[in-house]
Amino acid sequence: MTGAPLEPRAALPPDDDLAARLRGFGPLGLLSILGILAGNLVVVPLSAVLVLLWARRSHTPWGEIGYGRPLSWVDAAVGIGLGGAFKLLMKAAVMPLLGAEPLNPAYPHLVGNAAALPGMLYAVILGAGFGEETVFRGYLFERLGKLFGAGVGAKTSIVLLTSALFAVAHYPEQGLAGVQQAAVVGLVFGTVFAVTGRIWKLMFAHAAFDVVALGIIYWNLEWAVAHLVFR
């Protein structure tokens, strides 16, 4: 895999030792990593907000966490279309092949529950689309890239490792099926990010993926969609 060229690193002020330590892997650098990863335990999507604050204070170029090129409507439209189609493919073909049950046992309370929609839309658009992509693709790829390097083998390892972390993060709420789905999504999205170095399409794709998933559950279509291919 070959990534897009990174922007040149911003020149540090001569006396800005703090920025250098934030970018490093000494005590302050490791503490910042732990603090960022723990942010969502307080409120979603605090981890992603902390990533942006870390990038600004450490003088890390935005392009190194995927934010390099300005957002365009083409990115948004392509991301939404591909993300929605990807969810339908996962539900109708991939998850049945992995042995998942047609009905998601984690979210039966969402069927027809209009009162739950605002909170869930916040979670899937800001928490998942913006938050998870910023952390699992943008931030972790930057941090692990500094440790592993930029070669094909290094990027492959980063895709595998971040996909595993992304999958495990879904276990407490979604169980084994959630881990399986997140592992596939992590591999696909991670590969795209490793190749392109851009995060905007992935944000919209991730949000659309989860919005379609929410709609399938809300309108009680899980059984029908899960049997579109394998009846």
Provide, rounded to the nearest whole percent, the portion of the chain with pLDDT above 90.
Answer: 88
pTM given for the model: 0.91
Residue 90 to residue 226: CA distance in whole angstroms: 9
Output b/e per residue, 168-191; b: 16+ Cβ within 10 A: ebbeeebeebbbbbbbbbbbbbbe
Residue 226 to residue 63: CA distance in whole angstroms: 38
Q: 3-class DSSP state for residue 185? A: helix
pLDDT tens profile 171-191: 999 999 999 999 999 999 999
Length of the chain, please?
A: 231
What residues does each domain of the chain span? 11-60, 67-226
